[in-house]
Amino acid sequence: MAMCNLVSLVTLKILPLVWAIVGFGSLIAIHEFGHFFFCKVFGIHTPTFSIGFGPELFSKKIGATNFRLALIPLGGYCEIAGLAEVGQGTQEFAQATDPTAFGDRPYWQKLLVMLGGILFNLIFAYIVMCGIFMVGTSQEQALVVTDTVKDSAAEKGGLLAGDGIISINKKALLDDKGYLYDNASEIFLTEIKSHPEKSVHLDIIRKHEHEHLSIVLGTNQEHGTTIGSLGAYFAPPMTYKRLPFIQAIQAGITKTNYFIHQTAMVVKRLFTECSLEGTGGPLMIMSVSFKSAQNGIINLLVFLALISVNLALLNLLPIGALDGGQLLFVTIEAIIGRKLPDGLRNGINIASWVLFLLIAVFVTYRDIASLFGDTIGSIYHKLVSLITK
């Protein structure tokens, strides 16, 4: 019995967690390798290549670059000589002006170096999705729930992480062969939004058994209109028919383009509505990665492809702390024909990092409240009672 429990712990908890951490860390490595790759192509010095932040776990100098692995796998950087960036290594070579530095390179080389991480993240997503369509999967398909929001309609209605939704209000999400329709998410969301404070009827698969749920939806506001709200997170829709090589490439490109479009809509809403509603922080990403890994390597790879697309598009934003911000700097410098004052660049970079840290604290707090609401609330009330005694 003890051995069975140990095997269950390793296969259901430890290994998925390891795969989730390795997968997320790999996305950071791929992004930073994009910068590193173009630096090496153009002969630009890269003093440090780091995966993770915080205390160093391992380092090895190869050529002129110190490769390091740090404790916190939620970031990383490629330090570039002649490019001052907050939090990017020791910055010993930040003001370098020799022939191996970034500063005096032609604009097109700077452009490719700055876009390198974004390009490699997108390439990763395209390769993963094309590969999945080449392999295919024989697993039964469904719109898979990865988590529910505390006190939401989904939680109150009995929807659980791992449930697979196959129809809503008798509208099927699967075709005759058991694969999700390409527009399954749109079908589902349309039904949810159009039934505020009304019951929706879900046919689900739970532990390989078919069940039926009736859930009374909550409400939300969208462009001044009241819409239905379920309060659940879903894994990316997965339609993995095994296809011939050329068709698999086409399907993989189409699915990745769909991820890009959906991510772009989220980013657009972020700015047009000034809302972080529906966004998740590092804890939520790791939680969903873990649950995706529990459902199999294919699920994890699709989720990582989606996160890779998110990293690419978010880094395009013209904000100082992101690649898009650095790209904006070098573009302005190319237009005006001189370098921007270091004080201005550093000020914008620091302000951007402060903004990102504040956002990170906020979304992390929200992640904790969503993932561990009852426990955190209990601890909080106990602390308050102790302090006020």
Q: Using an 8 Å Cβ cutoff, are 362 and 276 in contact?
A: yes
Instruction: Work out how many domains the chain is built from and give that number.
Output: 1
- Per-residue tens of pLDDT for the chain, all 389 residues: 444 444 444 444 566 666 667 777 788 889 999 999 999 999 999 999 988 877 888 889 998 899 998 887 767 888 888 887 766 666 777 777 888 888 888 999 999 999 999 999 999 999 999 998 898 765 556 788 877 888 899 999 999 888 889 899 999 988 877 777 778 888 998 999 999 999 999 999 887 788 999 999 998 887 788 899 998 888 766 557 788 999 999 989 998 998 898 888 877 776 666 555 555 555 555 555 555 555 567 777 888 888 899 889 888 888 777 888 888 888 888 888 887 777 777 677 677 667 766 766 665 565 555 555 544 444 334 443 443 44
Cα torsion through 150, 215, 146, 160, rounded to 10: 80
Q: Residue 14 has what pLDDT?
A: 61
60 located within any domain: no
114 located within any domain: no
Q: Residue 168 has what pLDDT?
A: 93
Spatial separation of the C-alpha atoms in residues 74 and 24, rounded to whole Å: 8
161 located within any domain: yes
170 located within any domain: yes
19 located within any domain: no
For 346-382, b/e burial (b = at least 16 CB within 10 A) is eebbeebbeeeeeeeeebeebbeebeeeeeeeeeeee
97 located within any domain: no
269 located within any domain: no
Q: Residue 220 has what pLDDT?
A: 86
**CATH code, domain carrying 160:** 2.30.42.10
**DSSP letters spanning 49-76:** EEEEEEEEEEEEEETTEEEEEEEEEEEE
Q: Residue 287 has what pLDDT?
A: 57
Of 90, 35, 41, 95, nearest to 66 by C-alpha is 90
Q: Residue 222 has what pLDDT?
A: 78
Cα torsion through 74, 233, 270, 369, rounded to 10: -70
Range of the domain at 153: 139-239
Q: Residue 377 has what pLDDT?
A: 42
158 located within any domain: yes
The 10 Å Cβ neighbour count of residue 173 is 23
What is the chain's length? 389
